[in-house]
Structure 1
């Protein structure tokens, strides 16, 4: 017998060593392959980095120099065969060409940068996100707004994963600007508000100036001029704080135009004059032309025609000097209207003709650009497919390397376990006969007892089935008294009820009714769960029907007081001694909603109301007393809390079962603070989707733990 086990052990040790060396050889080959693909430093690296830094410094001042430096760096990078440097140089070329509005060339270089960033090991996620964002800027410049949003959202996802708050705020602002161009102002304001929150958090004043300017444009375009003025003034304040002179000039012009649209010509002149002064001082030629056209328009409306003509002619002269066709077109149109108002129809006709010709030219150029854009879009789609294939190949390489490591670990562990198992089998075999003898004796005893247990099991099973059938019938009764969710959805279509009893019957229940023009919500958590809790819910449901539907009581605090009295009477509790012997009761939240006055009145017995408006979270706490319990009614005070709700406000009530659920890696309760954070994160979703998210989060947290208590959360949006 010993000889047999020795042969087995020797055989398996040989197998393990063979596997080990095979896996080790594969692992070494994979590592060498990965090293062969990684970029190798070359002596010209520092020279390339220096050229790229010089190109970056030249972007705003000398576009041609930026192109030359970037192209030179790219040539050296290709010679070095360093994927990361080729990607950086390609990105620099793309940025240089985008500043010259050469969108096709810029796109080719940026897509090439993406391709080489994807080839690096590991891929440079931050650099890929920057490149995607610049492609978004490029497509926005070409008015390809859908493609622009695709790039922005891809970049945003990566920036959020990297935790880069500055770039997240920037990208939110860019998305908001695209929605302005699409005239989807609700969406633009949503993303600009997110940008504002992020930039306030990191004190990004330059970024806030840009975000507030876009918010001003959004509100101005929807006719909310007071709000637009607020944001334009905020933009001006931040530009002045950081001494951003071009931004100050733009803000003056925007504020002046806002006053002009409201026909407050005095205020409009005040800000236009400030913008004119700054534009002349800073030699902002295009901006100066725009301000002069605005001044010409306001003087025309004030019938100051000579001054209007003076401003219009100066705007036209400057526009010709800088060869800005858009500004020339604006000046032609303004002068045509001025001469028409003065009755000088010959001059008016001449300028109108020039305006129409230039407008047609601009339109034809736009059509040509659109054709070029379509061709470039086809090319970029092909390039993006190549990039996706390259990234997929990189992932496969990484997975293969990881797989080789895992093989090595598994073989080593399996070999160790196998040796241990063989040794244990050898030892156990020596004791097998002795144990078999003992087991044979025990089997006789077990056989005789098993017959007795089977008989008892049949008795218990029969009793259990009867009890289970009774409880299941009680479950149907309890479910039948709960409000029908179809009726609730008729009144509150955007709502959810996440209701998950611990047992077949629940100690939690919800109640809903209409009295006149008012709707009453109740979420109650009775003492205990299962059958005892369910009995309390039946009694409470009956009392609520009597108090609200019968007595027409709709004041939440009074409903709770009347419920307290009814429970004490039904449970025959008339003094402190009864309270100690029978402490049953419930916690609950009561809401009354009036759609005519747009008010919500809340009162709670040891349960709160959560209210979310936009990104603001408010908790309205109930009284620190339960209904019933061990404290006399005379010692309890329940208060009404009245609030004016707005469309889009979210409200949540429920029991404490969700927050008290044990789970997670730390094996602790979920806690109310985490529930609040979760609700704030998902509140913008439709309410049915929020209910699903709560359910998913609950099971993810609970994991293998058993459910702790009945669960109930009700959410509704006004």
Structure 2
């Protein structure tokens, strides 16, 4: 509102300066003053008078706007286009002509991060009476979708993008074939925000196919990079690496490639190598990316590099390098925040300068008008009328300025309170994130899992930053022990209990040297109860767990509430080793799923506790074991928004066990996301699969 008032005051204040200056002279002054912001803003005050002859000066007026965009003078552009639009309305330009000026004003608001103004204008000019050209309608809908995406409303963004798709005509398809691919790309990004891996990959592939047909190599690289990012998100790191490397290839051979785009590809490839257990290659690529980021001054990618390098060095035990990377991460992060603050201060400075200039012009006009009235006493009626009008205007301005100062003061207080809350929130998030690193330290590494259990997967999806679910492994000269555990609660409380339980299992195997799975769970129960016995309050926390001991094809199992599922072709060979009350079978085509039942008691406090059973089994090559927590089965979703349920999960694992172990992991991740949809995740989820060699 204050900006509008300043523009109106400036317009009336400068009326007396509008002489016979021609458009060509005025235009020349504008181009001369492009490097002098103060003079340029003065020039813009008189821009509106040329809009009356839009048909004559229209192209030249828009060419000035193009020059401002090319020089990234976004605030000045907003002032300029706002002046033209206000004058165009007063001149009653036709709707189609006004549409092109309004569209540029909307883009100016968009460049200045003013979402409300952008949305209002774009929704207005999309109305039929403005008769916006088809391509312009598509561009407007794309920007509206981007705004929804920025405000974390991906469902609404997809709706806008689908409207844009419906606007594409045969003519647009012929002249601008890449428009459709851009829309598909943005729909893919929206689905990634909704955690829909299948839809994300589907739309990015559709975008890639169009870009491949048009031989747009840089855009092809972008699509492949986006597919890789989705695979990375669902921890399918092998697939992610393939797509990241393909994306880099197309980017590197494109004439449109920039240092920032190449740096982004190296960052993505590097971080994936790190997740796949290749820190040397990861380090080489991340440092190469840093070099390009520094040259391009791209601090956003630089921040990601330092964050990954900190984690990489810490995993290698190089604490000095890890500390240095962490320091650089915070330095770059603070610089990014400082740039945003500087940009906002500069924008405020521009606005203040415009207000001061407008107010100065207004006061000069008042003084000149009073002198004129003294010399023209014969026109006393006019004099008094103008005098009252001026007094009223000054009073209104005074009230508006007072209200504006009060608003600025209130905004400052709100901003201070907001900053204080954000600082506290950042501290809390930082503490929880650091706690995640501590919790991650109790989990076995990918390298260790691949070494001792070559054919396996773990799909681990915490509900919050830290989790109550965890997986555990211990190896001895003879055996490999593996467990999947679900501790009481989730989030921070669950994570604290998980550390207590993990330490207890480590002590049971390492300190006490226990080898029988039942004895390990008995000792773990004793140690957990001992840990909580110091509390003055009754603490009944503990865990449900599936624990196995592996040696070649021999498996020993013990469970606290959580059983063991085995998918095998030879059901009789397995069930013949068990008592009838120890198992149940789900039949399938060719294979069946045998559920080995657990003890109906937790690791933790429980009345009428009995020793945990240890069940020994001889399995066959190709048999597949599944250990799990209850998070997947308890997830709400689907068309009826009901729980997934354990029986459905059994059937799904049985049917997908014909796939390779890694493909089955991806199938589990995809099934969970498709079922959950837009619902909130209700609990931590962990499923592990192990195939017998």
TM-score category by the smaller chain? 0.3 to 0.5
Which has more radius of gyration? 1
Scaled by the length of structure 2, what TM-score is found? 0.42
